[in-house]
Structure 1
Amino acid sequence: MRRASLPLAGLLLVSGLGVPAPALAQRDPAALELIEQLRPRTRGIRLPAPADATPPAAPVAPAAVPSPDLPATPSPGFPPQTPAPGASAGKPEAAPPVASVAPGTTAPAGVAAVSITVTFPSGSAMLTPQAEATLAPLGRALSSPDLAPYRFRIEGHTDSVGDATSNQRLSERRAEAVRGYLVAKHGVAPGRLEAIGLGETRLLVPTPDGWDEPRNRRVQVINLDD
């Protein structure tokens, strides 16, 4: 019996065997961790109500009671102020929680992002086998159904060794190399990935010029749809 073939783009070759990349990500702890870090951040998560739940009745405003010190009706153009539910009189309402900067990144606050230290030969944009092994979980995460609807920016960053102009060009080439790897090896659609270089302009670890800091030689991935 002839077996149906799977699309080549949906396979990730592991030890010579074709394994669907999305299925692999579901049992890969490293990929799952990246999926969680790159999911869009939400503010004020609201849990869904049970299907059989009865919607609460609309609140009824209490009758206004005249006060000897205050007028019974508000001044024209200013509606009456009603304290928020659960708020005490005279106390400001608590602000909703805001997501902080993603740990280990220089991304804006509240944006889903991750930084990955990638090994390149000195002054080169060629990915080493070690670099590809480091990027493999990212490829499985980006090709998973969890992140398939989103677009991402691949940022190249360098340390402060060398002149700024050379580092800028090098970071651009390295970002493009990572993007090419994700497209060619993991089937991520090219239109979902944007590659830019930022050189030494956004150091993860602040250092003086000429300082060799491996943590600054990194690739940062940012969710553009967050």
Structure 2
Amino acid sequence: MTRRARMMLLAPLLGLPMLLPPAAAPRAADPAEAGSAAAQSLIEQLRPRTRGIRIPGAEAPAEAPPLAELPPVASAPAAPPPLAIRPDASLASQAVRETAPEPLPPAGGPPPLLGKVAAGATAAAAAPPPVRLTTAPADVPAASITVHFATGSAELSREAVRALAPLGEALNSKTLRPFRFRIEGHTDTVGSAAMNLALSGRRAIAVRELLVRYYGVDPARLEAVGFGDSQLLVPTGAQVPEVANRRVQVLNLGG
């Protein structure tokens, strides 16, 4: 679907006039698929980066060199020099001196090694926890998008349509076109768990229909699932209206 056709379909939802700007002169295709900054950010988040998922068209890893071309193994280190024994000392006294422990630190402070360990533990405890961007497994490419819905409704508002526009652009990119995706609906904790589960499923379906109808994404590439308030991006108590938890999460399922 061309850009002009999408604008004609989205104009009623966005409240835009039907007058369209004149078509721009054709220009050479950009190999980097230049688009909006938001779409480029989603492409980077959703492109496969883990082992086991190979991007189509990526170069195969170089083969290992044959054994004959491998560098020689380094020789074993030389044995330590023999222990020097003074002629005026017995073997027992010499061994005691060679194995004597290091002197203890002065009173009032911990040993040097324990002091370093304690300092490292204190620094680690003081470091703030990392900010979570999604609730997906660490090895799954994913992105979270805050989508505004009316309370208790699965109807996409104009703000929601605008927020999802970069996702439609990203899924149509050359980088993400070979892959399938799961559209997940998530809610905050306001309301019952059963109500939120059903509502999140309807919202995920609404997002999928938008991507298919207005952006021409192949429906076979998209599945919609609702999770309700079971995967909070920002942990809260019950009945807390947290905007960051009312979101849509997109996961790359592979080719």
* Shared fold (TM-score, shorter chain, > 0.5): yes
Aligned equivalent of 1:57: 69
CA distance in 2, matches of 1:10, 1:149: 19
Alignment of 1:120-131 (within 5 A): 120-131=149-160
User: Is 1:159 matched with 2:152?
Assistant: no
Aligned residues of 1:173 and 1:197 also touching (Cα < 8 A): yes
The one of 6, 12, 23 equivalent to 1:13 is: 6
2:71 corresponds to which letter in structure 1? P
The answer for unaligned runs of 5 or more in structure 1 is 1-8, 49-53, 68-100
1:179 deviates by 0.4
Aligned equivalent of 2:44: 36
Aligned equivalent of 1:149: 178
1:42 deviates by 3.2
Aligned equivalent of 2:236: 207
1:152 deviates by 0.5
CA distance in 2, matches of 1:171, 1:185: 21
Q: What secondary structure, in the 3-state scheme, does the structure 2 residue paired with 1:13 have?
A: helix
CA distance in 2, matches of 1:171, 1:125: 8
Greater alpha carbon shift after TM alignment, 200-209 vs 103-112: 103-112
1:153 deviates by 0.5
CA distance in 1, matches of 2:252, 2:213: 20
Higher normalized helix content (fraction of residues): 2
Aligned equivalent of 1:81: none
1:157 deviates by 0.2
Identity of aligned residues (%): 51
Aligned residues of 2:187 and 2:196 also touching (Cα < 8 A): yes
Aligned residues of 2:132 and 2:233 also touching (Cα < 8 A): no
Aligned residues of 1:126 and 1:177 also touching (Cα < 8 A): yes
Aligned length, in residue pairs? 177
CA distance in 2, matches of 1:214, 1:64: 63
In the TM superposition, structure 1's runs of 4+ consecutive aligned residues that sit over 6 Å from their partners are: 62-65
- Using structure 2 for the length normalisation, give the TM-score: 0.61
Q: How far does the alpha carbon of each residue in 1:168-214 deviate from its partner, in whole angstroms, 9 at most, with x for none?
A: 00000000000000001111100100100000000011111101100
Aligned residues of 1:152 and 1:193 also touching (Cα < 8 A): yes
- Using structure 1 for the length normalisation, give the TM-score: 0.68
Aligned equivalent of 1:180: 209
2:155 corresponds to which letter in structure 1? M
1:30 deviates by 1.0
CA distance in 2, matches of 1:117, 1:27: 20
Bigger Cα Rg: 2
1:63 deviates by 7.8
1:16 corresponds to which letter in structure 2? L
1:110 deviates by 1.9
1:60 deviates by 3.7
1:113 deviates by 0.5
Aligned residues of 1:102 and 1:114 also touching (Cα < 8 A): no
Q: What secondary structure, in the 3-state scheme, does the structure 2 residue paired with 1:127 have?
A: coil
CA distance in 2, matches of 1:58, 1:190: 51
